[in-house]
Structure 1
Amino acid sequence: MVERRLKALVIAEAANPEWVSVPLVGWSLAHALREVADVHIVTQVRNREAILRAGLVEGRDFTAIDSEKLAAPMWRAAEKLSMGKGVGWTMKTAITTLGYGYFERLVWRAFGPAIRAGEYDIVHRVTPLTPTANSLLAPRCARAGVPFVLGPLNGGVPWPKGFDSERRREKEWLSYIRGAYKALPGRGAMLRHASAIICGSLHTLGEIPQQYRDKTVWLPENAIDPARFSLTAPQPGTLPLRGCFIGRLVPYKGADMAIEAALPLLRAGQMVLDIIGDGPQAEALRALVDHEDVAQAVRFHGWLPHEQVQVTAAQAQLLVFPSVREFGGGVVLEAMALGVVPVIADYAGPGELVDDTTGFRIPMGCRADLVAGLRTRLQAIAADPTVLPGIAAAAQARVMHDFTWAAKAAQVERIWRAVLARKPLPQELPLPR
């Protein structure tokens, strides 16, 4: 028997097909869910024009809520208090989260009557991703008898020991007291009244109180659009290796560690390295390359358009990405989708996406230990590059099976149906080994 399509109200305050990071996650999941259910997307007005350009019809497919009266001044305050462009993300999140309740009040004003009238089978808040943004919709939906799903929640991965200097350079002062969010009013009511809580990382899952674990599911936040990743990297199994680093050039991302670890191979002509991205560390990285006399083996590309990132990355065999504080690790999935083998720090998001069949995980430690472990692994690969083609194929197959947005939408729909049937929630993916 064919199941009836569900009717869902999907709340995605940040959802924008033309941006990156959280807005792209919000848009991608909300849009993919339209293929498996009758979905109406509710977002913030700043995303309206981009969603219209994507072909959706306002009023029929989505509603843009104008909360700028509070959102705009809160963002300006966050920019000032974070003390620098591209840093202080915990402060930005905290300040903007303070104003999120106003957005949900406007959502309830617009859709509360329809929710109470039973016009939706389910209400699902996709963004904000941060667990610090409490939702007043959860208890209100519960009183209306409509299941409320939360997530993927993700964020707040602790800074690893030995990287406090990177933490200070990122101006992450507020991260020292981030745990205080658990005492904020409304958190208990949100968790108690949510019918399902999707956690985008094992760290976030671990922050959910034990009494709610039976309605909690681990499901990584990121996925890829196969249409954006149509290339496959060459994996000849020979030298020289070509590696790439993709991301902001800031201390915790580890581009400097990637370069330092690769130095013996770069000098020996056994490896070249593409650095894709830009940021405040760029000048220091160029100075490091010049000082070590490996400029002939390292190319700095700066920021590239998304389609050009794919073209450049797909010429590499390895993603060398020793970032020490990734919540989601979307760039790791993107590399795997191209058949580029990830070499990552075994910590947080990337460590949950990669296993021994799909890449290489470097044990977490202090900076010196991480560089040493990464160097040892790169040298081992250079000694036997024939291991790469099989791992690359496995990585690409895993992403295309489990980590497309279409697969993610199907996973979420199964969670919705389990909620509505009052059955145990499915654990859609095996826990990382």
Structure 2
Amino acid sequence: MEKKILISAYAISPYKGSEYGAAWNTVINLSSKHELWVLYGMSDDHMGDTQSMRKYLEDNQVPNVHFVEVQPGPIAKAINLLNKAGLGWFFYFAYTLWQQEACKAARKLLLTEDIDVLHQLGPIGYREPGFLYKLGKPLVWGPIGGMMVIDKRLSANKPMMTRFKFGLKNLINRLQLGYSSRIKKAFEYADVLISATRAGQYTIMSRFSRESYYLSEQGIIGKIRLDETKFSSDVARLIWCGTHIERKNLQLCLDALAMVKHSNWQLDILGCGPLTDKLKQYADNLGLSKNIIWHGQLNRTQAIQMMESAHLHIITSIAEDNPAVVFEAMSCGVPSLTIDHHGMGDVINHENGIKVPVNEYPILVKDIAERLDKLFAEPAQLKTLAYTTIARATNFQWDKRLAMLNRAYDEAIMAHEKRTAYLMPDENLIAL
């Protein structure tokens, strides 16, 4: 049944990946069944930067979707200057102010539109739950992410400042999940919760005694396909994609490859970052340079072409919910080798990849190297994995995701009606 849905997305773009793309794909797919109003405040690099979205909407019509641009107030803009200067933690102060503006825009919209359900969609991080829960309407919140505990073993060989940042993030997670009254209220008042990871489901239940659906924020867009011509080569083509920062942990991939016994492999590295030069020198010192091609930053079309030609995708991130690259790999029939944790551990199984248990760094390196050696010794395994990856990928297509969201909306409406039946008439609308 078609519904009128108000979505708070914050960051959205038809051109970008990550949370921008996740929000865009959610909106476009939902619009095939429902009429949407979408609040957003960013489509480019910083809060209030919406140039590309404005241009897109000038040139294109999006049926059943009303985009509502919400600009930050002057205080939020001033605070965001610190974020632009590299002091990222100040962003959350500005973001809270933006969410207040978004709530005001939603409240105004509710005066003229009979909205059936609200959806706090983005960003996936639990730290800023927005204020839609104050509007007295059925509310779905999620997918909710960012609640992971970062395993200290994965950062043991990292610089002191990196270890400090990861430790601080773990501490902040414990404090915010345990003591933030606004986060607690958001979890309490949302009619339906959606977790981005299985571990997040456990955290939500243990911290807030609430059940939640599991749905990764990313899914597979477009057709699932497989380039079978690539299997005519005797060289295993590996691909690693991401920004060259400590959290993405490319060093782990390089250390493992330095231990493999076979040489019938090539690694394509996509992306760049502050550690690029250091990592190139590191790979050279390990004697890997002849097997590695550094492609730098590619556009999406080029990156997808590189992915389609790969036999195995490697992801080594220390902390991640559900990176889009895992789903892009699946859509190309490319299995992923990953550390068995966070969202990657939920999405990857024996059908679409290889999961390596978290362990002390030297053991983890050895375990990855051994798994790679087995594949290089019997490259036919990669072809078998490609076919099972294609089969597994169908579980993450949008028809299944849409069905789950529709159930969540129906459940939110029923839960809200049941909740408000026991409230006084003036108790189910909380003033902002």
Indicate the SS of the match to 2:17: coil
Asked if 1:261 corresponds to 2:264, the answer is: no
Question: Cα distance, 1:154 vs. partner?
Answer: 0.6
Corresponding residue number in structure 1 for 2:104: 106
The percent of aligned pairs where both chains have the same amino acid is: 20
1:29-428 superposed matches below 5 A = 29-44=26-41, 46-47=49-50, 48-49=53-54, 51-52=56-57, 55-56=60-61, 61-80=66-85, 82=87, 91=89, 94-114=92-112, 119-141=114-136, 146-162=137-153, 163-164=155-156, 165=158, 168-169=161-162, 172=165, 174-175=168-169, 176-182=171-177, 183-210=179-206, 213=209, 215-226=211-222, 232=227, 234=229, 236=231, 239-265=234-260, 268-399=262-393, 401-422=394-415
> 2:135 is paired with a residue of what secondary structure?
helix
Q: Secondary structure at the match of 2:11?
A: coil
- Partner letter of residue 66 of structure 1? Q
The answer to whether the Cα contact below 8 Å between 2:147 and 2:203 also exists between their aligned partners in 1 is: no
- SS across alignment from 1:8: strand
What is the CA–CA distance in structure 2 between the aligned matches of 1:377 and 1:268, rounded to whole Å? 12
Q: Distance in 2 between matches of 1:14 and 1:224?
A: 19
**What is the one-letter code of the residue matched to 1:137?**
L
Distance 1:202 1:60 in 2: 31
Which structure 1 residue ranges, 5 or more long, are not aligned? Answer: 83-87, 424-433
Give 5+ residue unaligned stretches, structure 2.
42-47, 417-432
Cα deviation for residue 209 of structure 1 reads 4.5
Q: Deviations over 1:208-247 (max 9, x none)?
A: 24585554111111113116x7663656286321101011
Q: Equivalents in 2 of 1:135, 1:81: separation in Å?
A: 24
**1:243-284 Cα shifts (integer Å, max 9, x gaps):** 01011111231222112211255x853111111110112111
What SS does structure 2 have at the residue aligned with 1:300?
strand
- Residue pair 2:117, 2:412 contacting (<8 A) in 1 also: no
TM-score by length of 2: 0.85
Moved more, 275-284 or 206-215: 206-215
SS, match of residue 361 in structure 1: strand
Deviates further, 320-329 or 95-104: 95-104
Q: What TM-score comes out, normalization by structure 1 length?
A: 0.84
Distance 1:390 1:268 in 2: 20
Deviation at residue 411 of structure 1 after TM alignment:
2.0
Counterpart of 1:185, as a letter, is S
SS in 2 for 1:304: coil
User: 1:319: Cα distance to partner?
Assistant: 0.6
